[in-house]
Chain A
Amino acid sequence: SAVISQKPSRDICQRGTSLTIQCQVDSQVTMMFWYRQQPGQSLTLIATANQGSEATYESGFVIDKFPISRPNLTFSTLTVSNMSPEDSSIYLCSVDHQGGTDTQYFGPGTRLTVL
């Protein structure tokens, strides 16, 4: 499986600010995914990020709030913009490591608290 790292691992932010989360993979992957896990809840997909194209957002998530970059096949960023306490969650990136399969491997997550 791929080795996936995320930065930062956790952060505490003030309302109205923005935070950019980085996801780095140790091998080239086609598809990267960003999920949100709200406290005590399951995971919900925010968007799918493919290199060379704009991210595809799920219903309820918009680019102005969660802009995503995918500059190459090993890296992606997710920005949480104009944060409010409701954005307090764990944000996880995942990859389809083997390409063409449907098995995803997850990073360790970024635990975000918004005050």
Chain B
Amino acid sequence: GDSVTQMEGPVTLSEEAFLTINCTYTATGYPSLFWYVQYPGEGLQLLLKATKADDKGSNKGFEATYRKETTSFHLEKGSVQVSDSAVYFCALSDIRGGKLIFGQGTELSVKP
């Protein structure tokens, strides 16, 4: 079945460091891909999405490119802030039923 694999956390960075969180997927067909963010004590917020190969999703300085050849959707940010500390979830949409399949989440902690 479809699945999403993320790099394990926690990831600890200093403020202004470069961030990469790896995400790879296995899927039938060509699903849409998403990054969601969960700040402490809150629900999930959609961070960005890409719907087809080579699409780049971007928001709040975060970017991710849909790479069909490597089945990847890595999240990047050039300069992280303390306020980016959160858990980041990579997900794909199941084209058959509309449900989202999530990776295990990667906790990011940014230190001043």
- Which of the segments B11-19, B68-76, B98-106 contacts the partner chain? B98-106
The contact size tier of chain B is: 20 to 34
Nearest residue (CB) in A for B101 is: A45
> Are B102 and A108 interface neighbours, CB within 8 A?
no
A41 neighbours in B (Cβ, 8 Å): 104-105
Task: Say yes or no for A51: interface residue by CB 8 A criterion.
Answer: no
Q: B32 contacts A102, CB within 8 Å?
A: yes
Interface-central residue, B44, B46, B89, by most chain A CB under 10 Å: B44
Report the Cα distance A31→B28, complex, angstroms.
22
Report B-chain residues with C-beta under 8 Å of the C-beta of A45: 99-100
**A109 CB contacts on chain B under 8 angstroms:** 42-43
A39 CA to B89 CA, complexed, in Å = 15
A103/B32 contact (C-beta < 8 A), A33-B99, A42-B103, A42-B105 known: yes
Q: Which residues from chain B contact A56 at a C-beta distance below 8 Å?
A: 97
- Considering the complex, give the chain B residue whose CB is closest to the CB of A58: B99
Minimum C-beta distance from B63 to chain A (A): 18
CA–CA, A42 and B31, complex, Å: 19
Are B98 and A48 interface neighbours, CB within 8 A? yes
Smallest CB gap from B97: residue in A: A48
Q: Which of B45, B46, B98, B104 has its CB near the most chain A CB atoms (within 10 A)?
A: B98
User: Which residues on the A side are within 8 Å of B77 (C-beta)?
Assistant: none
Partner of A107, one of B43, B98, B102: B43
Measured in the bound complex, the distance between the Cα atoms of B98 and A68 in whole Å is 18
Determine how close the nearest CB of chain B comes to the CB of A17; give it in whole angstroms. Answer: 24
Please measure, in the bound complex, the distance between the C-alpha atom of A41 and the C-alpha atom of B31, giving whole angstroms: 23
A103 in contact with B49 (CB, 8 Å): yes
